[in-house]
Amino acid sequence: MQMSVLQDIRLALRLYWHNPTFTLIASLSIALSVAATAVVFTAIQAVLIKPLPYSHPETLVQIRADFASSDPAQSGADWVLGRDAREVTLRTNALSSVGIYRNSLLDLAGDSLTPPESVYGLAASASLFPTLGVTPMLGRNILPDEDRPDVERVMILSYGFWNRRFNSDRNVVGRTIRIDGADCLVIGVMPAEFTFPLRRQAAHTPVPYVEFWTPLRARESDMDTKTVGVVARLNPDATLAQAQHELASINDSLVHDFPATNRDHTLRMGLFRDRVVGSAKSPLWFLMASAVMFLLIGCANVAN
C-alpha cells in the first residue's frame, strides 16, 4: 500500500514536470480558491463566531428607542433619553445591572514632546464596566462617587491610546494630565482586546474607536433631555422575553408619567450581539457560500 502511494506521487510529479502550463494553472486555481475561502471565513469568525470581548456576552442586552417619526435617522436609534435610562435602572427587576454612556470629545493638552489633540471617547456611568464584566489592565475602574460633577476628574485610557500617546508607560496611572484646560487623573488602562462600543466612524466622531472613558459627571436634571446609550445584563433567573415584557410595562408607565417627551417613542430591548452584528449576518453567510462554491469549482476544474 505504501509503495503504491509513493508510485502515485512519483507519477504525479513526473506529469506535473512535463506539463508546466497545466501545473501552473492548477496551482493558481487551487490557491485562489483557498485564499478567497480563508478571507471570507476570517471575516465570519471575527463577526459571527468569535464571542464579544465581554463576560458572558449572551446575557448582554441593549435598550434603544423606536421613534414614531418617519425620519430614518431617528427610527431604531441606538440611544434613549437620559431620564428613560435612569427610570429603567430604578424600576427594573429583570436586569442585574445597567450601564449608561454617551459620546465625548475632549481637548488633550500637549507638552514639549507631544502636540495637543482632540480625542474621542465616552462619558460612562461607573456601572458600565461591571455590566460588561471587564476590568482595566492597569489601575482601577471608575468609582460611583466619581460619577458626580463636583469631584476630581478621572480618566481610563484605551490600550491603543496608551500605546500611541503615552508610549506604553505603565507609570501613567496616577499621572495628572490637562483635559479641556482642567486637571484630570489617569486611573486605568483597558486591555488590548477591549473595545466598546463596537462601531463605525460617524460624522460627529473623528475616529471609529474609543480612546478614553470618563465618568458621566452629570446632574440628574441635566440628563433628562440628553441622549445616552444603554447596555444592560439580564438577571440569571430572567429570560430575554421576560425582560422585554417588563420593559414594555415600564415604557407604558413612562408615557403616562412624561407624556410630553415619551409619547412619540417606544423603548425596545434586544440582545447586544444581534445589534452589533446587525444586517451583516446574511451577507457574510452568502459570501461564505459563494467562496465555498468557488473552491469546489476550482477543485472540479483541476480534477477535469
Longest CA–CA separation in the chain, Å = 86
> What pLDDT is stored for residue 245 in this prediction?
96
Q: What is the pLDDT of residues 174-187, one digit of tens each?
A: 999 999 889 999 99
Q: How many CA atoms lie within 13 A of 287 on its CB side?
A: 15
Q: What is the pLDDT of residues 80-117, one digit of tens each?
A: 999 999 999 999 999 999 999 998 888 888 877 788 88
> What pLDDT is stored for residue 226 in this prediction?
84
68 vs 231: which has the higher pLDDT: 231
> What pLDDT is stored for residue 277 in this prediction?
61
139 vs 32: which has the higher pLDDT: 139
> What pLDDT is stored for residue 198 in this prediction?
54
Question: How much of the chain, in percent, has pLDDT values that exceed 70?
Answer: 77
Q: What is the pLDDT of residues 218-275, one digit of tens each?
A: 766 667 778 899 999 999 999 999 999 999 999 999 999 999 888 888 999 998 887 7
Choice among 54-58, 104-108, 198-202, 252-256 with the minimum mean pLDDT: 198-202
| 295: its cell numbers | 473552491
Average pLDDT (281-292) is 66
> What pLDDT is stored for residue 54 in this prediction?
86
